[in-house]
Amino acid sequence: MEEIKLDEKQALACCGSTQFAKQMAMASPFPSLDHAISAATDIWFNKVDVNGWLEAFAAHPQIGESPSSHTTSAQWSKGEQATALATATDSGLQELSNWNAQYRQKFGHVFLICAAGRSAAEILNELKNRYLNRPILELEIAAQEQMKVTESRLRKLLSAKAKADSTGSQYSMVGVRKAEVSNLHAVSHCTISHEGFLGKAPQVQTRTRPPITTHVLDVSRGSPGAGIEVHLEMWKGSQPRPLFGEIDIGGWVLQGSSTTDKDGRSGQLMSMVDALSPGVYRISFNTGKYCPEGFFPYVSIVFEIRETQKFEHFHVPLLLSPFSFATYRGS
C-alpha cells in the first residue's frame, strides 16, 4: 500500500488552523489513514495552541448559514449543514441566528458543532445547553467538536486520494501487462509474489502520544494551569482494586511524573505502549503548591481502564479554581 501524502493547503481545508496545517504537512506522508488521523489528533490537542484553535473556529460559517464561497472547506461546510438547513423552518433559522449571536458575544467565537446528520432542532438545543458553560470549558468542548469535523474531512479527502492512487496504479499495471505480453517468452514464466512485490508492511507503532495524558485549566483566571506537578499511578495492591473506605497503603505504584507546561499540558507520564495494561489508575495534581490559598492541598482522580479499552486514548483534564474542580474523559 502506498503512503498517503498531505500538503499544507489540503490540511488547511480540513482544519482552518495554519499551525495544524504546517504540522500535518511536516508529518506527511502517512502509512495509512488511521495513522494520519492519529497524528492529526495529537497535533490538534498537543501542539496547536489556543490561538490556533480560534483560527480554526473562525474558518467556519455560522451554523444555519450556507457558505457563499466555493472553496473546498466551504463546500464541506455546506454538506455538513445540509440536514440542519433541510429541517429548519424560517422561524427556526431566526432563533438559531439569535442564539448564535448571543453565543458569540459571550464566548468570542462561533458556535462549533459537528453538524453532519443533525437537525436544526438538535443543534439549537445543544447550543442552548452549551451557552450555560463557563468560557474555559466551552473552549475545550469546541476544540473537541472541531477535531470531529477535521477527522471527518480528512477521511473524505484521504480516502478519495487513496482511491485515485489505486485507480492510477491499476492503469499502470495494465501498461506493464501489455509490455509483458509483447515479450512472450517472459510472460509464461512470470509469477509475482504479492508480499515480495510490495514488501512487507512496516511495523509502525500506532500511538503518537502516551495512552494517558492530562492538562490543567485554571478556570478562575481563564488560562492554562502552568507549573503544576502531576503524578500518574497504577493500582497493584493485593485486592483487584482499591476499595472505598479501606486503607490502601503500598497499593499504588508510580508510573511517571511531570510538570504542566505554559499551555497547561503535562509531559509524558508513562511509556509509549500500544496496549495499555487494564486496571485502576490515579492521576494526582499538586494544587496546593500551585494555589497555596486554595481549598485543595492536592487533587487525585481515580479511574478504571477495562480490557476492551486498552487500545484507546485517555485524556483526563483538570478544570481548577481555588474552591472547586471538575474533570471528564476527553479525547
Question: Is 265 assigned to a binding site?
Answer: yes
Q: Any catalytic annotation for residue 109?
A: no
Question: Is 328 assigned to a binding site?
Answer: yes
Residue among 60, 109, 231, 315 flagged as catalytic: 60
Question: Is 306 assigned to a binding site?
Answer: no
- Print the SS3 string covering the chain: CCCECCCHHHHHHHCCCHHHHHHHHHHCCECCHHHHHHHHHHHHHHCCCHHHHHHHHHCCCCCCCCCCCCCHHHHHHHHHCHHHHHHCCHHHHHHHHHHHHHHHHHHCCCCCCCCCCCCHHHHHHHHHHHCCCCHHHHHHHHHHHHHHHHHHHHHHHHHHHHHHHHHHHHHHHHHHHHHHHHCHHHHCCCCCCHHHHHCCCCCCCCCCCCCEECEEEECCCCEECCCCEEEEEEECCCCCCCCCCCCCCCCEEEEEEEECCCCCECCCCCCCCCCCCCEEEEEEECHHHHCCCCCCCCEEEEEEECHHHCCCCEECCEEEECCEEEECCEC
Residues within the annotated binding site? 215, 265, 328
Annotated binding site for substrate: 215, 265, 328
Catalytic residues: 60
